[in-house]
Structure 1
Amino acid sequence: MTNVLNAQEAFTALQKGKTVLCRYAGDGTLHADKDFSTLDQMPATVFALPNYEFCIQVETIELAGIQFTKPLSIDEVEQEQDVFLIQPHAVILQYKYSENIDELVTGIRSGFAQRDFDNAKLQYEALCSVVGGSIFEASLEIAEQPKKRRTSKKQNDVIEVKQQSNIAANDDNSLDDIIGPVSAQSPASNDVEKKTSLELSPEICDGSQPLISFDAVAAAAVSRAQKIDNETSQKNSDRKLVEEDEEKYQEKLATLKKRVDESLTPTEVNAVVKYTNSWSAEQRQPLLKYMHKRLEVLQQNKTAEQPSLMVRIQNAPDLTTLDALEIDISSLDPIIQPEMMRYVKTRRLELEKSATVAAISDEDLP
């Protein structure tokens, strides 16, 4: 069941904390929208524009796989509102709400009352399903209302004057009994509604001030909605700039990583850092880790290309070189030092023998 509101009724409902939905109603040239949308999907000036319709969204719940509107609460029901009370014998009783009907008040407080017949049927079927009972076709019956006490014509006139006075003072069209379509409401829309109702001029809700015209209320709503639109646009713009900056950063990072891969010496690897002067420490961290890995690879390659200490000892060209290598042995693990010293001793004997042979040869020359 969908009851359509005009802009003034919708704005009043918004002030009362209701969740308001909106759709374009068409203007004869453009077709009307079929579905209602949240307020954040609509123009900021929607309350002041023609050809728009509003409704109130009612929260839904699901039980035993059946979805229906949340049962009517005693806080939101109003006098003479249609109330559909669920009976266990597959009968839905339709009342005009009155606080003097005890069984109706009890049923509402117990959560067995709905705003319309269709959702009352769905709730009845869900209750039967959850306890494993049989589901029968629910029927609608008009409940017998308690007879009203007769009043004199003079009393009726006084009551009518009071009612008209209350309507003029509050400008409240009993919007609590207006039911919107069953659909989800986004948190962003709720924020818009709450801010709009809370941040309007306090004179609107101050009972000591004269009632402000709807045009003034609509203008305030439009102003606030435009401000929210501007803030949203600014956030979207900032987000777009951040995304563009991130894209440029990733492109440059990929380029520098490629240059690191192509570097053949530690000096070339370290030179890449100069291209990151404008980066933050957080942005530079991935590149530094990548450079560190490349330096480890280069060090391993250098170690693999360099002959082992044993080979250098065996190939030492002279005693001076051998003495220098003997010093290097002292930095090795103590377990391997004796073996390396054995190679040093062998090579020293070879070099000394070679030097002796050379000296003898020099003496034999004429």
Structure 2
Amino acid sequence: PEYDELVSAVKNGSVQRDFENAQKQAKAIHSLLGINNDLILKVVDFQEFMKPVSKSKKVNRKKIEASEPTVEQEIVEDINTSKITTVEDINSSKITIVEQGPIHVVEDSLVSDVAIENNESKDDEQYQNDLNDLVDRARKASIPAEANALVRYTRSWTEEQRKPLMQAIHARLVELDELNK
């Protein structure tokens, strides 16, 4: 409770309890960022670092804060110097492409576009086959219930897609009505 910030930092993984884990974490972050330089780790005694300063010594507190570099400042300076060295390394190196392999991202996106177009054409073919079959069955329906039952096969269709079938069913219902009279 006295060091809530420290406890929350340890729980969130930004502070390590022992030197080895801190070293491993710093190396992991450096390798993630692509930084290849030596690590300089400093063990900080947080009881000394986070000692509450009495309120009567406001002038001294400002001097102490200004004179002692904080851990955050050291980390920022270390990262900035490592970034500068990596930027200098990048600028000084001359990259030449010797061989270029297949570019999977572009290839995959083109393949997926073609697959979508093929699926759409397959869907259109399937729709036409289903529509022709249902219209044929509507023309051959012997009772109104049989003709009306064909609508249930078109639940996933749009109104525009259903229109030819509905016209065929309507025509057959009119024929059946005339036959029953």
Q: TM-score, normalised by structure 2?
A: 0.41
Structure with higher Rg: it is 1
More helix by share: 2
Q: TM-score, normalised by structure 1?
A: 0.22
Ranked by relative contact order (alpha carbons within 8 Å, sequence separation 6 or more), the top structure is 1
